[in-house]
Amino acid sequence: TQDGRTVLFVSHQMSAVSSLCTSAMRLKNGEIVKSGQVNDVIGDYLVDASGDPERLGMDLRDFKTRKGGGELFILEAEIAAYGNGLPLATPRMVDAMTVRFKVENRAAFPAERVRFSVCFKTITGQRVVHVSDEDDHFLLPSKPSVWIEVEFPMLQIYPGRYTLTLWVGSESYNTFDYGEECIVFEVGQPSTSPRAF
């Protein structure tokens, strides 16, 4: 700083780190594992938090930063991408993508009172896609656990690194489970020139 002072800010909230800090340091088990530019350190942290960056799935049973009452519980999540109807290892801009997540109804919560949302954020925490089931009248099947699928017929975000955030709650927006930035994924360049959105 100009007056010779340094402020140390400690947080797991990547959007706050990105907006408040000019450099960053990542600790793991009390050791410094990465330091430098904020976006580089954030990207390293998010990849480590989600496991293998090439694996577009995550077991969330032990996900540490979840919030909520636990009436419904997100067990696992995955991303699948398709180009010309064929599976892709990496989602690409303008191709199709599906987000799937498995939800356990631990409290036998009434199906008509459940809401879901899926959010994609940049690695600095800026929301670029946020969809929810407000208007589709989705009913949670009366099973102990069920897979929910959200389809994106044409992925309309630019190439880069993103995170997936999942939310499950009530119609009055009480949070049952909230997995913030639970999967890190890359969006690749399109195979052809992008179409106008």
At residue 48, the pLDDT reads 64
pLDDT digits (tens, 9 = 90+) for 9-22: 887 666 677 768 88
d(CA 44, CA 60): 19
Q: What is the pLDDT of residue 9?
A: 84
Report CA 18 to chain centroid distance, whole Å.
17
pTM over 0.85: no
